[in-house]
Amino acid sequence: MSYKNGNYCAFYVAEPFNESTLGAYATYDFVYYNLLRAWRANDPSFPFNNSHSTTYNVRDGSAWELTLKPRLRERLRNSKNVILFLSERTLNSRALKEEIDYGINVLELPIIVIYPDYKTKESLLQNGYLKNEIQNLWNKLPILRESMHKVPTLHIPMSKDLITESLRNNGFMTNMKKTPYVYFYR
């Protein structure tokens, strides 16, 4: 049995991958994943344990069934939750569908959804609940929308303080998770 201590980051990267030297680094959501890594590098107390660094890297041109999909699943199995970056630019890719489907429907991992276009918890809310424009983003990933009721999902803006609080919250870790529900900070 593996020790589940990682945070698995899921984000949209165009398929097929850009063959330029920038590749995934040039995509919008990848920038935010790199920001989490930078926060951790600059502050060892930042509670981000990158599941992507637990297995060897794969190249953009790797075979989906033989290399990419098994590597995603291995990283997810070693994770205590999934951090999903969801924005207007997010598209429903094969990788995102696999990550969310396997993470929720097989491993029952809690999901922390970060909305990079929003900076405060209040910016996500209207009348005490998540705005329609936030809920409409769930339609970009049908597997998320259809499966969210199975695990606790926490919806937060791109705020280092709230991300830190969320990553430290035991209710959004696989072994101590809260009841399945849509959570957010008020």
Q: For residue 64, what is the domain's CATH number?
A: 3.40.50.11200
> What is the value of pTM for the model shown?
0.89
What order do you get walking across the sheet with 6-10 strand by strand? 6-10, 79-85, 111-115, 152-157, 181-184
β-pair type (6-10, 125-126) = unpaired
Burial track 99-126 (b if 16+ CB lie within 10 A, e otherwise): bbebbbeebebbbbbbbbebeebeebbe
In a domain, 19, yes or no: yes
In a domain, 55, yes or no: yes
In a domain, 173, yes or no: yes
Q: What percent of the chain lies above the pLDDT cut of 90?
A: 70
* pLDDT tier, 16 (very low <50, low <70, confident <90, very high otherwise): low
In a domain, 1, yes or no: no
Residue 25: per-residue pLDDT: 54
In terms of residue numbers, what domain contains 45? 6-184
Contact, 12 vs 89, CB < 8 A?
A: yes
Over range 94-106, report the average pLDDT: 95
In a domain, 134, yes or no: yes
In a domain, 61, yes or no: yes
In a domain, 30, yes or no: yes
Contact, 171 vs 110, CB < 8 A?
A: yes
Residues 6+ apart with CB under 8 A from 84: 9, 10, 11, 100, 111, 112, 113, 114, 144
Top pLDDT among 63 and 99 is at: 99
Does residue 182 register a pLDDT over 60?
A: yes
The beta strands (E) that lie in the chain are given as 6-10, 79-85, 111-115, 125-126, 129-130, 152-157, 181-184
The beta strands (E) that lie in 39-145 are given as 79-85, 111-115, 125-126, 129-130
What is the number of structural domains in the chain? Answer: 1
* pLDDT tier, 23 (very low <50, low <70, confident <90, very high otherwise): low
In a domain, 65, yes or no: yes
